[in-house]
């Protein structure tokens, strides 16, 4: 007889709600909607660390290994479970792609309708594919993410739909668990946490998580929170709304972050900072990560690009974690365009031709 026990599925990992129940706003009545998200690896990246030119240790938190390929699953398992608990029939979000993928998956799993508003033509193939195959109701607007979020807020004020963007506090509650996992993996918090920033929900959530774990005596120090925006979409760095944000890192193509005020508080409390990285810097970090065997999406590489840009400010013997928020498979077009690998095409299908190309004949 087969006995399936969710507690032991995926190497004993029941999903982050069950794993961190006591730190989350979960009750006996919460119907847990999970895909066993969380528990992602913290991977050392020694060849990238070497580029810093002093003794430091660098790890990446590879959150692209979540069920829908991004950190959004952490927030969505909690947001959808709580929406279901409250009796919601439908959820809505604006998205540059990853939130819509996660909302679509978890809403379907929980039996809720999902409406997703996306900027037409400005989300990657993989993310669009996900929203569609999970069966969300996709509304692509002739406008950017910021306009989509305004429409989402307006809709939710008038109609019975629950917003699952990071203005929903349950999203941040779920996402803070990534900080718990980092502390568990390292035994304490790192010196720096480098995070790509769009709406600044994730950097806020990490800060909540580290603080909560310190209050619980699970860690003794707090990291400096270093947020990185793409140069064409850097409202927090520039201190003003960007009306027409642009960057190859479409996930963070956001000109008016929803959690702006919180983002400033995180900077002040952690003695951290916000900096911008250019598209070429992002793409260089993206290729360096691939050279370590790690494939993330361009927005995620902003954390590594930012760390390398600030190398002179890194403390000696520093321990740094860069968050890789999304999987590289989300954006195959950029990968193919940026790869410099040898790619022979239209090769005659015979041994001599193949061996010749390999340099053996």
Contact residues for ligand AN7 (CB under 6 A)?
A: 70, 95-99, 166, 196-202, 251-252, 297, 299-300, 325-326
192-196 and 113-119: which strand pairing?
unpaired
CB atoms within 10 A of CB 87: 8
**Degrees to nearest 5, angle at CA 270 with 266 and 274:** 60
Q: Residue 200 or 304: which CB sits closer to ligand AN7? A: 200
Minimum gap (Å) between residue 134 Cβ and ligand AN7? 14
Minimum gap (Å) between residue 145 Cβ and ligand AN7? 6
CB atoms within 10 A of CB 95: 28
Q: Residue 71 or 180: which CB sits closer to ligand AN7? A: 71
**Degrees to nearest 5, angle at CA 313 with 322 and 206:** 35
Q: Residue 26 or 152: which CB sits closer to ligand AN7? A: 152
Minimum gap (Å) between residue 170 Cβ and ligand AN7? 14
Taking each helix axis as running N to C, give the angle between helix 279-291 and helix 298-309, from 0 to 180 degrees, rounded to the nearest 10. Answer: 100
Q: Could you please report the per-residue DSSP string of 210-252?
A: HHHHHHTTS-S--PEEEEEEEGGG-HHHHTS--SS---S-GGG
Q: Residue 58 or 200: which CB sits closer to ligand AN7? A: 200
Minimum gap (Å) between residue 277 Cβ and ligand AN7? 13
Q: Residue 14 or 306: which CB sits closer to ligand AN7? A: 306
Q: Is 63 exposed, middle or buried (0-12, 13-18, 19+ CB in 10 A)?
A: buried
Minimum gap (Å) between residue 300 Cβ and ligand AN7? 5
């Amino acid at each position: 007889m087969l006995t399936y026990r969710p507690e032991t599925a995926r190497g004993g990992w029941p999903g982050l709600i069950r794993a961190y129940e006591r730190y989350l706003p979960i009750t006996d009545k919460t119907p847990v909607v999970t895909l066993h998200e969380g528990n992602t690896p913290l991977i050392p990246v020694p060849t990238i660390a070497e580029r810093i030119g002093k003794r430091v240790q660098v790890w990446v938190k590879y959150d692209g290994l979540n069920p829908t390929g991004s950190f959004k699953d952490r927030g969505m398992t909690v947001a959808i479970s709580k929406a279901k608990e409250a009796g919601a029939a439908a959820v809505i979000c604006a998205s540059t792609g990853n939130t819509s993928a996660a909302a679509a998956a978890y809403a379907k799993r929980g039996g809720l309708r999902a409406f997703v508003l996306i900027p037409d033509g400005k989300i990657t193939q993989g993310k669009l594919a996900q929203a569609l195959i999970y069966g969300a109701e996709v509304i692509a607007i002739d406008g950017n993410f910021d306009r989509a979020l305004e429409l989402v807020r307006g809709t939710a004020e008038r109609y019975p739909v629950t917003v699952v963007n990071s203005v929903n506090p349950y999203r941040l509650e779920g996402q803070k668990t990534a900080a718990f996992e980092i502390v568990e993996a390292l035994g304490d918090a790192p010196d720096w946490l480098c995070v790509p920033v769009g709406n600044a929900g994730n950097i806020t959530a990490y800060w909540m998580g580290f603080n909560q774990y310190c209050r619980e005596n699970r860690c003794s120090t707090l990291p400096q929170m270093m947020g990185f925006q793409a140069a064409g979409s850097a409202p927090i760095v520039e201190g003003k709304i960007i009306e027409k944000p642009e960057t190859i890192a479409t996930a963070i193509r956001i000109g008016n972050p929803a959690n702006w005020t919180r983002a400033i508080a995180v900077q002040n409390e952690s003695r951290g900072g916000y900096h911008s990285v250019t598209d070429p810097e992002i793409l260089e970090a993206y290729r360096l990560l691939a050279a370590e065997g790690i494939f993330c999406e361009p927005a995620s590489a902003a954390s590594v690009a930012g760390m390398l840009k600030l190398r002179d400010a890194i403390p000696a013997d520093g321990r740094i974690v860069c968050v890789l928020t999304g999987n590289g498979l989300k954006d195959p077009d950029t990968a193919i365009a940026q790869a410099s690998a040898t790619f022979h095409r239209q090769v005659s299908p015979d041994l001599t031709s193949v061996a010749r190309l390999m340099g053996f004949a």
